Structure 1
Amino acid sequence: MKSATLSRVEDDAGLLEKSMSAVASAMADPSRVSILCALMDGRAWTATELSAVANIAASTASTHLAKLLKSELITCLSQGRHRYYRLAGRDVAYLLETLMGVSMKFTQPPAIRTPVNLRNARTCYDHLAGKVAVGIYDFMCANGWLEPDGNSLTAGGKLHFQNIGIVTQPQTRRKPSCACLDWSERRFHIGGDAGAALLKACEHHGWLTRTPGYREVTVTDAGKKAFSRLFGIS
């Protein structure tokens, strides 16, 4: 006869498997993937905008959005007569970015498939991704700014961040930092609170400018000089 503890463990395992299957099912459609990828820029989008991105009818988009809402991959915000959709959180963005990296293993090399500007620098929800971000992460690792596991800044890394004007949040429920797999470079860039703080600082200093409505960002002349001086990126 099974013990109560064993039965509870098996029930929990079964619930987890069902939950994972539900998430996988919600993402198992090209149109829903297009919607999720569009929301990776961190903004809130209307159903009409998302239907245009996915190249589907508005009624079809509503069905897809309902499924994504049910799986809690996205949330809906109501403002007056309008409804806006956005990713449910950073953990969903991290899942999508990781899935992109895994999926790229089965496609042609990213240098051929990915637009040059998008590959160079883009947003990954609330942090920086692309070739520039990978270069910064490599520099931070090589110069001891990150702990060996990549999950937090070293004392030296925190000091360098302060000197650059990058403000992290000491009291945060998210990881202080993490290695986020870059889907176009197939290497890591920095995520977590440190990654978000880095992107904010880059925008504040005028090193990067965003392209409205897209994940692509442009490195300014000031940014090129700063990245070369601070991170050895040419």
Structure 2
Amino acid sequence: MKEGPDIAHIAALIGDPARANMLTALMSGKALTVSELAEEAGVTIQTASSHLSKLDGGGLLRPRKQGRHKYFSLAGDEVAHVLEGLMGLAAGAGHLRKRTGPKDAELRQARVCYNHLAGDMGTQMFDSMMAEGHITLDGDDLTLTDTGALFAAKFEIDLDALRKARAPLCRECLDWSERRSHLAGSLGRAFLTRFEEKRWAKRDQKTRVVSFSPSGIKEFERLFQVN
């Protein structure tokens, strides 16, 4: 008798091309309607509803109703973490869904990975914080140090509030384009939020691109220097 988690069931849910396209679209962190997800998947609304029901039943989605519309988002960081890892495996094996386009370079520089910063600038932030001793990695455990806590506090991040939340404070997430780590968890989300609040950066909800202003890039480079 086989025991343990049924990874085949989850893999089958993700593995369908239409469902994979829907899940990828939700990596922007934005909740989408059935019709919007149907367009992303290239299927009818009826077919999309069937796919979404299966994903919801598998625990991969969080449905919410507002007015006449029903919105879907990823169930949480855990799902996004798995999807980003699968993207890295697919890219590393050469399994790309389409040729590179004009947005490809922008996606590789900076993009949203569910709710935190990914791409070249995301890995630079992670590398800089590691080099400065703000975060340490022991096996699979990523920890915020005392100096890291001071660093985050100076950037006006409320660590007490983050620590009260259910989500992990720090998580290492494998970047699919850089094949290196970027910072996930509630701290990663908080940094991206502060970049937006300070108007250093702005998200493109349709493409997942995070566009930094010239002054934002200058401040980012000053804050996260890498030798």
* TM-score where L is the length of structure 1: 0.87
Residue 163 of structure 2 aligns to which amino acid in structure 1? P
User: Residue 78 of structure 1 aligns to a residue in which SS?
Assistant: strand
Match in the other structure for 1:79: 66
Residue 109 of structure 2 aligns to which amino acid in structure 1? N
Q: C-alpha root-mean-square deviation of aligned residues, in Å?
A: 2.0
2:153 & 2:43 partners in 1: Cα distance? Answer: 47
Structure-to-structure mapping, 1:157-196, within 5 angstroms: 157-168=148-159, 169-196=162-189
- 1:170, distance to aligned residue in structure 2 (A): 2.3
Residue 25 of structure 1 aligns to which amino acid in structure 2? A
Structure 1 residue 51 and structure 2 residue 42: aligned?
no
Match in the other structure for 2:47: 60
Match in the other structure for 2:28: 41
- 1:129, distance to aligned residue in structure 2 (A): 0.6
User: Residue 175 of structure 1 aligns to a residue in which SS?
Assistant: coil
Superposed CA offset, 1:33-79 (max 9, x none): 00000011111111110111111122221121111111111121112
Residue 131 of structure 2 aligns to which amino acid in structure 1? A
Match in the other structure for 1:231: 224
Structure 1 residue 153 and structure 2 residue 144: aligned?
yes
Residue 213 of structure 1 aligns to which amino acid in structure 2? K
Match in the other structure for 1:20: 7
Structure 1 residue 201 and structure 2 residue 190: aligned?
no
CA contact (8 A) 2:29 2:74 kept: yes
1:76 & 1:163 partners in 2: Cα distance? Answer: 36
Residue 187 of structure 2 aligns to which amino acid in structure 1? A
Residue 24 of structure 1 aligns to which amino acid in structure 2? A
Q: Which moved more, 1:117-126 or 1:97-106?
A: 97-106
1:146 & 1:63 partners in 2: Cα distance? Answer: 43
Pick from 53, 70, 88 the counterpart of residue 101 of structure 1: 88
Pick from 62, 66, 75 the counterpart of residue 88 of structure 1: 75
Taking CA–CA contacts closer than 8 Å with sequence separation of 6 or more, which of the two structures ends up with the larger relative contact order?
2
CA contact (8 A) 1:132 1:233 kept: no
2:17 & 2:145 partners in 1: Cα distance? Answer: 41
Structure 1 residue 124 and structure 2 residue 113: aligned?
yes
CA contact (8 A) 2:127 2:226 kept: no
> How many pairs does the alignment contain?
219
1:129 & 1:192 partners in 2: Cα distance? Answer: 12
CA contact (8 A) 1:227 1:233 kept: no
1:58 & 1:80 partners in 2: Cα distance? Answer: 19
2:169 & 2:67 partners in 1: Cα distance? Answer: 36
Larger radius of gyration: 1
Residue 226 of structure 1 aligns to which amino acid in structure 2? E
- Tell me, which stretches of 5 or more residues in structure 1 are unaligned? 1-9
CA contact (8 A) 2:32 2:73 kept: yes
Superposed CA offset, 1:56-113 (max 9, x none): 122221121111111111121112221111111111111111111122221179xx84
Match in the other structure for 2:208: 215
Structure 1 residue 141 and structure 2 residue 130: aligned?
yes
